[in-house]
């Protein structure tokens, strides 16, 4: 097998199980040295205890990578903790000599209809998904900017994790959908801001049978977590330097480039609109625009 990532250094967050674990293993198979981050929480974000030896799912993934002949190290940071995220980036630099790849994947769900969602549930989900993308990206970005200014620009790659819920919406997942939509927006801005430092920033919207989807949907025909990881490995490669600011859905064998918000039909009144004229004008524009894709789970 050709190795796309020989000698490159990666962080994968939420890599103890599911899609994150699959990403870490795939990157390692292609030659990357991997910081395997996992905070060790349940599907709902509650802390779980390690076994008596202090092992966590991340330790198991490191052992799997080492069995493949690769190099990896465990990181147990809460990725939404600003200082802990900085320390995670520094761990990659101190352990392996730098950082080339950041795969932001960590997250959990607390599904509720909007009228049943508590403030605590909203805050927890937004924190781990959205701030948990921002904090590692901010610190990795600062490192790559410093490297570029010192004449050591790296072919740096960020792969964020959005979702169809964030792009089309999903009934019963208002908080999760808002967080994942925020990640898509953050991806676009980061790509525009960080390109000057040699950094590409893209997001995937993976479809897979995981702890997060089981129980919420019929997962019998869904792809496996590892089916998403070849796309991540390629986006993380030096070869992918011309691809940035994209959101790409991966569903088993199907890759789809998502088209996000874009300007559609418009009308100019030439002056401030009269409220009574807005309705007819807007209805005409809506008739000219393509209909929105349906929200997942909508009847």
Active-site residue list: 163, 176, 180
SS3 at position 134? helix
State the Cα–Cα distance between residues 195 and 122, nearest whole angstrom: 32
What six digits make up the tokens of 4? 């796309």
What six digits make up the tokens of 46? 């509650």
Q: Which residue has the tokens 């740096």?
A: 156
Are the C-beta atoms of residues 101 and 160 closer than 8 Å to each other? no
Q: Is 119 exposed, middle or buried (0-12, 13-18, 19+ CB in 10 A)?
A: exposed
- List Cβ neighbours of 50 (8 Å cut-off, separation of 6 or more): 40, 56
State the Cα–Cα distance between residues 100 and 94, nearest whole angstrom: 13
Are the C-beta atoms of residues 152 and 197 closer than 8 Å to each other? no
Beta partners for 170? 296
Closest CA to 114 of 160, 169, 151: 169
Closest CA to 23 of 249, 230, 240: 230
């Amino acid at each position: 097998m050709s190795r796309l990532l020989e000698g490159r250094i990666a962080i994968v967050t939420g890599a103890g199980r599911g899609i994150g674990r699959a990403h870490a293993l795939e990157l390692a198979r292609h030659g990357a040295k991997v910081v395997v981050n996992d905070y060790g929480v349940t599907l709902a974000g509650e802390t779980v205890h390690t076994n008596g030896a202090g092992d966590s799912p991340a330790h198991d993934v490191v052992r799997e990578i080492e069995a493949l002949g690769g190099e990896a190290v465990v990181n147990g940071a809460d990725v939404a903790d600003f200082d802990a995220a900085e320390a995670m980036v520094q761990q990659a630099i101190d352990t392996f000599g730098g950082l080339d790849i950041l795969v932001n994947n960590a997250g959990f769900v607390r599904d509720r209809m909007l009228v049943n969602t508590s403030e605590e549930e909203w805050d927890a989900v937004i924190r781990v998904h959205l701030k948990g993308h921002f904090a590692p990206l901010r610190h990795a970005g600062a490192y790559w900017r410093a490297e570029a200014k010192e004449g050591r620009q790296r072919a740096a790659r960020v792969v964020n994790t959005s979702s169809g819920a964030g792009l089309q919406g999903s009934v019963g997942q208002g908080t999760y959908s808002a967080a994942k939509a925020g990640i898509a927006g953050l991806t676009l801005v980061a790509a525009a801001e960080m390109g000057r430092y040699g950094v590409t920033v893209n997001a995937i919207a993976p479809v897979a049978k995981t702890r997060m989807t089981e129980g919420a949907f019929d997962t019998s025909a869904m792809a496996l977590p590892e089916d998403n990881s070849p796309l991540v490995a390629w986006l993380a490669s030096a070869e992918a330097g011309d691809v940035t600011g994209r959101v790409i859905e991966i569903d088993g064998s199907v890759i789809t480039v998502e088209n996000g918000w874009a300007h559609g039909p418009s009308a100019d009144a030439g002056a401030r609109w009269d409220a009574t004229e807005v309705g007819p004008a807007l209805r005409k524009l809506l008739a000219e625009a393509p209909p929105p894709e349906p929200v997942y789970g909508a009847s």
